[in-house]
Amino acid sequence: MLAANSIGKAFTVTCFGESHGKCLGVVIDGCPAGLLLSEDDIQAELDKRVPPKLELTSGRVERDIVEILSGVFEGHTTGAPVCMIVLNKEAVSSEYNAIKDLPRPGHADYPAHVRYGGFNDYRGGGRFSGRITVSLVMAGAVAKKLLRIFGVEVYAYAKAIGKVKIDENVTLEQIRENTYKNPVRCPDLSCAEKMEQAIIEARSEGDSLGGIVECVALNVPAGVGDPVFDALDADIAKAIFAIPAVKGVEFGAGFSSATMRGSENNDAYAICGGKIVTLTNNAGGILGGISTGMPIVVRAAIKPTPSIPKKQKTIDLSKLDVAVLEVKGRHDPCIVPKAVSVIESTVAIVIADHMIRAGIIPRVLWRK
């Protein structure tokens, strides 16, 4: 029953809205005063959320248009809560009536029905839809703008889609240049094409694909994060698990560190250009919940879209009997491309929150 739609202790993001309701929205409380911020800043990030190719997405083609409702005055944030909304324009809800008692396998329909006693807005998944990530992207746009002032850059990209994986050696330049230039958000362009093909193929078979999104945060200074429970990795993981379809999160060497020896996995310290660095980064930039100054590297496993045209076994909640379901509606055959900008936003939100907690980002950016 407790407030569960908020995250962050210093840069606090509260989300609201449903897939087929009036809007999706977000309130940021704790954004420092004095940040130059316009609707264009937010719009640019919202536009990155939705890949351009229709055959890769749900076919819901509305452009999400942001409106800032509060917290900005004369072009700057005021320190008061920033509320932003995107109106839902073209939701088609009628097709959900037919299946409202037939929980879709792999979706939150059934547990949500139990949790809310049947009062939840089931249309399009309601509060459990992937569309709620619009709120995260709006908040992430503010976080990213804030972080850039302090030199921090956050980049996510598709690392794997289905069985297609990108080469380990993708460069920072590729990431910066290519990620948002292709519909699957993969910085390795030849790999991107194969990913696109894989999605089209799965779709043509009435099926869907999952994948892996990797995210790196550069230039986070050493010393950001709090032990024990508000560890930086713990908070990033929690935020990423809030994104629908995420089933795993790992940092640095992650699950592969389980099979390494200490002598392999430990990152030796060195001095480079007068700065303390590590020669490898198996830690993914975080030790003991605190940033080391090396790039933060996190990966999320995204499950295949549960809404697929193929027939599936389910139950009819109204009769408590078995049933067969054919999901209609419009659904992305793979949500990895959308998840890229969402994870980038989410990681930026958590890092901004922790850099404010650390006192590195002050509560007024520039005093007049």
CB 41 within 8 A of CB 47: no
Q: Would you count residue 214 as binding its own copies (CB under 8 A)?
A: no
Residue from 23, 65, 149, 218 binding its own copies (CB under 8 A): 23
CB of 295 to its own copies, least distance (A): 14
Residue from 91, 138, 170, 202 binding its own copies (CB under 8 A): 202
C-alpha–C-alpha distance, residues 218 and 151, integer Å: 8
CB of 171 to its own copies, least distance (A): 23
Residue from 138, 152, 195, 358 binding its own copies (CB under 8 A): 358
| Segment 164 to 183, residues that bind its own copies, using CB under 8 A | none
| Segment 35 to 54, residues that bind its own copies, using CB under 8 A | none
Angle at 77 between CA 358 and CA 363, to 5 degrees: 25
Listed in sequence order, the residues at least 6 apart from 198 whose beta carbon sits closer than 8 Å to its beta carbon are 161, 162, 163, 164, 209
Residue from 153, 219, 312, 330 binding its own copies (CB under 8 A): 312
| Segment 283 to 302, residues that bind its own copies, using CB under 8 A | 283-284, 286-293, 301-302
Q: Would you count residue 242 as binding its own copies (CB under 8 A)?
A: yes
Listed in sequence order, the residues at least 6 apart from 358 whose beta carbon sits closer than 8 Å to its beta carbon are 223, 224, 225
| Segment 82 to 111, residues that bind its own copies, using CB under 8 A | 82-83, 85, 103, 105-108, 110-111
Q: Would you count residue 32 as binding its own copies (CB under 8 A)?
A: yes
Listed in sequence order, the residues at least 6 apart from 237 whose beta carbon sits closer than 8 Å to its beta carbon are 249, 298
- The token pair that represents 116 in the structure block: 């809310």
- The token pair that represents 308 in the structure block: 């697929």
Which residue, 18, 20, 25, 234, is CA-closest to 139? 25
Residue from 54, 227, 326, 328 binding its own copies (CB under 8 A): 227
| Segment 334 to 353, residues that bind its own copies, using CB under 8 A | none
Mark the segment that binds its own copies (CB under 8 A) among 45-53, 54-62, 142-150, 220-228.
220-228
CB 199 within 8 A of CB 161: yes
CB 332 within 8 A of CB 53: no
Do you know the residue count of the chain?
A: 368
Q: Would you count residue 356 as binding its own copies (CB under 8 A)?
A: yes
Nearer to its own copies, 80 or 92 (CB): 80
Q: Would you count residue 310 as binding its own copies (CB under 8 A)?
A: yes
Residue from 207, 218, 219, 330 binding its own copies (CB under 8 A): 207
Place of tokens 């109106």: 87
Mark the segment that binds its own copies (CB under 8 A) among 37-45, 57-65, 307-315, 337-345.
307-315
Rg of the chain, C-alpha, whole Å: 21
353-365 exposure pattern, b = at least 16 Cβ within 10 A, e = fewer = bbbbbbeebeeeb
Residue from 10, 134, 186, 339 binding its own copies (CB under 8 A): 10
Beta bridge partners, 132, equal none
Nearer to its own copies, 173 or 272 (CB): 272
CB of 222 to its own copies, least distance (A): 5
Which residue, 343, 346, 365, 367, is CA-closest to 35? 365
Residue from 44, 61, 92, 270 binding its own copies (CB under 8 A): 270
